[in-house]
Amino acid sequence: MPFRAPWLRSAVFGGTLLLAGGCGAPFGAGCTAVGAVDGVSTTVAADSVRGVAALELEVCREGRCTKADVALSAGTESVDQGCDDDGICAASASPDGTLVGFAPLDLSAGEVEIRATATGRDGQTRVLAPVRATAEVVRPNGPQCPGEAHQLALTLDSEGLSTR
């Protein structure tokens, strides 16, 4: 009759559970429910804000185009408020004179052409020169987690529309 230590069965079972539980994700990493949305973020530079009350984008790929309005709001910058003796740091948001917005648009991998029409405060519209760009894949939780989206970032300034 072979010798069997009573703790051996528990140790083997516990080790198996520990290994199985750790598979699939790096130690300490987890995925949250945070996701991302396909679309285009736009910043209207401070030097161009006076001429823009509304902005419409049109994204075209392979002969198919989709339009969306950019919901513009005041842009901000973070202002460092310093850290206390415990290492707790703070910041505040301060208006920076820009306008920022996001237009949810169905983007995919590959190059697209973006056309924009700016409407001024006086109601006049201005068609901007188109730009070509390739959307980047963003993963808010990191590459090991789901929730990816395709996004582009644009700037509208006195020179026109450009990618960031």
Place of tokens 């959307």: 135
* pLDDT for residue 10 is more than 60: no
Q: Which pLDDT score is estimated for 14? A: 45
Cross-strand partners of 36? none
Contacts for 152 with CB less than 8 Å, ≥ 6 apart: 39, 40, 41, 107, 112, 114, 133, 134, 135, 136, 163
**Residue 9 pLDDT grade (very low, low, confident, very high; cuts 50, 70, 90):** very low
| Reported pTM | 0.72
C-alpha 155/C-alpha 115 separation (Å) is: 13
Q: Taking a C-beta distance cutoff of 8 angstroms, is the pair 92, 79 a contact? A: yes
Residues in a beta bridge with 11: none
**Per-residue pLDDT reduced to its tens digit, 129-158:** 999 999 888 888 888 888 889 999 999 999
For the stretch 37-87, pLDDT in tens is 999 999 999 999 988 999 999 999 888 999 999 999 999 999 999 999 999
For residues 152 and 113, give the distance between their C-alpha atoms in angstroms, rounded to a whole number. 11
